[in-house]
């Protein structure tokens, strides 16, 4: 029986090979020459990313007519609309949008291969674009990554968590450290720590001495908060809604440092994670009644997660899971 099974598999293999040979014979040299190239993929991805032919051409260092011609050639070859044009409004078509993650992963892998060939081994050269929402949590991991891979140029941007998620999905970032209520289902997420959301008050403020602060007290307290795209804010707002209150916002700010300065100046009470405050001589953490929890993740798209630089960052970050902050 084993011999018979092997024979069937062998026959299937021969049949498949024959079909492949027949297919190859049917594909002429001209057909193979017309297969999509990496240069065309770079142009199509750049037009989709910038939503502009001129900006795509500038970013790639080529002429705009060249970019336009290559995109038109792809559309003609595959008989598909890849870039939708409505006057000056340029956007990727649904067909192109669905393939963008694979295009970006392929282009990133192609760049990695080129770097490996030039450097003779991975990660001697290259670049990694990473975003973060909370500098207190990520700098030790970034420092270790840079020490381990000094040839990789790291570009790090600080933004609110949900803005970072948008940039991940658009391909503007390869990885991001985000504060979220739960992992995003379509992303690869490594949980690094669980944090308590607290009120940030000046040292000596009555709320710092009052124990857990009740929600009815919070409802009457002017709050200083991060922008609506902040993960901490979204979790706090959801908890406030569950408690049946509408937070009283005194000021929205775009960074933790600005919020800390506003708290010290007496403008209001901040909303932050306990780990952000740490041991600070000027501000203190006041817990919220019932407790409000949030989690901090390193996230990437599944396609980018396979890229060596991103994989190395995940490996480095895993060393800091639940690490005590300095």
**In the predicted model, what is the mean pLDDT of the chain?**
87
pLDDT attached to residue 287: 96
Comparing 116-125, 139-148, 207-216, the range with the smallest average pLDDT is: 116-125
CATH 3.50.50.60 fits 103-191+296-320, yes or no: no
The whole-number pLDDT of residue 29 equals 46
* Per-residue pLDDT tens over the stretch 56-103: 999 999 999 999 999 999 999 999 999 998 888 899 999 999 999 999
CB 294 within 8 A of CB 232: yes
Please give the share of the chain, as a percent, with pLDDT higher than 90: 76
- Intrachain domains 12-96 and 194-295 with the same fold: no
DSSP alpha helix (H) spans, 34-154: 38-50, 53-60, 64-78, 94-119, 135-148
pLDDT at residue 114, as a whole number: 83
Query: Residue 9: pLDDT above 50?
Result: no
Would you list the domain boundaries of the chain? 12-96, 103-191+296-320, 194-295
Average pLDDT over residues 191-214: 93
Q: Among the residues of the chain, which ranges form H helices? A: 2-26, 29-33, 38-50, 53-60, 64-78, 94-119, 135-148, 161-170, 215-219, 231-243, 256-264, 274-277, 302-305, 308-317
Query: What pLDDT does residue 102 have?
Result: 95
313-322 pLDDT per residue, tens: 999 999 999 8
Whole-model pTM over 0.75? no
Q: Please report the pLDDT score of residue 10 as a whole number.
A: 35
Nearest by Cα to 304 from 176, 185, 178, 150: 176
- pLDDT confidence bin for 326, thresholds 50/70/90: low
CA angle 262, 263, 267 (to 5 degrees): 65
Domain over 12-96 is classified CATH 1.10.760.10 = no
Among residues 193, 198, 167, 199, the alpha carbon closest in space to that of 180 is found at 193
Q: Which of 121-130, 180-189, 226-235 has the lowest mean pLDDT?
A: 121-130
Among 218, 203, 229, which Cα is nearest to 289's?
218
Q: Any idea what DSSP says for residue 157?
A: E
Q: Which residues partner with 122 through β-bridges?
A: none
Query: Which pLDDT band, with edges at 50, 70 and 90, does 13 fall under?
Result: very low
194-295: CATH topology is D-Maltodextrin-Binding Protein; domain 2 (3.40.190)
Lowest mean pLDDT among 47-51, 83-87, 131-135: 83-87
pLDDT average, residue stretch 139-155: 94
Greater confidence (112 vs 29) lies with: 112
What region does 193 belong to: left with phi over 0, alpha with psi -120 to 50, or beta?
beta
pLDDT band at 12 (very low <50, low <70, confident <90, very high): very low
């Amino acid at each position: 029986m084993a011999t018979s099974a092997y024979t069937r598999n062998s026959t299937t293999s021969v049949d498949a090979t024959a079909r492949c040979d027949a297919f190859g014979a049917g594909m002429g040299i001209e057909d193979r020459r017309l297969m999509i190239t990496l240069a065309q993929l770079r142009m199509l991805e750049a037009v989709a990313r910038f939503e502009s032919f001129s900006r795509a051409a500038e970013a790639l260092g080529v002429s705009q007519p060249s970019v336009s011609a290559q995109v038109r050639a792809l559309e003609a070859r595959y008989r598909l609309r890849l870039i939708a044009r409505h006057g000056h409004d340029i956007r990727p078509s649904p067909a192109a949008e669905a393939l963008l993650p694979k295009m970006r992963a392929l282009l990133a892998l192609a760049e990695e291969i080129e770097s490996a060939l030039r450097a003779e081994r991975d990660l001697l050269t290259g670049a990694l674009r990473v975003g973060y929402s909370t500098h207190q949590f990520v700098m030790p991991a970034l420092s270790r990554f840079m020490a381990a891979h000094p040839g990789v140029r790291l570009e790090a941007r600080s933004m609110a968590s949900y803005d970072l998620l948008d940039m991940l999905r658009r391909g503007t970032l390869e990885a991001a450290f985000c504060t979220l209520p739960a992992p995003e289902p379509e992303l690869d997420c490594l949980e690094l720590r669980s944090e308590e959301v607290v009120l940030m008050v000046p040292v000596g403020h009555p709320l710092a001495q009052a124990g857990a602060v009740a929600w009815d007290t919070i409802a009457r307290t002017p709050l200083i908060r991060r922008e609506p795209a902040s993960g901490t804010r979204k979790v706090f707002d959801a908890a406030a809604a569950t408690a049946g209150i509408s937070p009283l916002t005194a000021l929205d700010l775009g960074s933790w440092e600005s919020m800390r300065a506003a708290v010290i100046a007496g403008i209001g009470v901040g909303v932050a994670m306990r780990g952000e405050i740490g041991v600070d001589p000027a501000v203190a953490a006041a817990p919220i009644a019932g407790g409000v929890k949030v989690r901090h993740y390193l996230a990437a798209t599944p396609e980018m997660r396979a890229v060596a630089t991103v994989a190395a960052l995940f490996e480095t970050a895993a060393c800091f899971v639940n690490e005590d902050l300095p």
